[in-house]
């Protein structure tokens, strides 16, 4: 699984093979996250930082544009619906 990337990380960083493999797996898991899961996770994270929903949903909308595969632009109502059902 992604041996070339793991090899590159072990050559170019102080990571050992096991650490490099975990980094690769973490990054892949991050980008495998569905849009809905991303929205829910970011909402929890930003809420824990003390932000209010108005700021949270604006931030999430902006963040979505920078995902590896950006979903179609979601309205504030669609974002709220993902979080609250």
Most confident stretch, 31-40, 41-50, 70-79: 41-50
Is the distance from CB of 23 to CB of 5 less than 8 angstroms? no
**Residue 78, token pair as written in the block:** 């669609």
pLDDT band at 2 (very low <50, low <70, confident <90, very high): confident
Domain ranges of the chain: 1-32, 34-84
| pTM greater than 0.85 | no
Is the distance from CB of 5 to CB of 24 less than 8 angstroms? yes
pLDDT at 66: 84
Summarize pLDDT for 22-36 with one digit per residue, the tens.
999 998 888 888 899
- Please state, rounded to an integer, the average pLDDT across all residues of the chain: 92
């Amino acid at each position: 699984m992604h041996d070339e990337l793991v090899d590159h990380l072990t050559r170019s960083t102080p990571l050992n093979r096991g650490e490099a493999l975990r980094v690769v797996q973490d990054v892949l898991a991050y980008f495998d996250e569905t849009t809905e899961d991303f929205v829910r996770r970011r909402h929890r994270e930003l809420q824990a930082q003390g932000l209010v929903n108005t700021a949270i949903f604006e931030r999430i909308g902006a963040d979505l544009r920078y995902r590896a595969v950006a979903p179609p632009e979601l309205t504030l109502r669609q974002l709220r619906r993902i979080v609250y059902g």
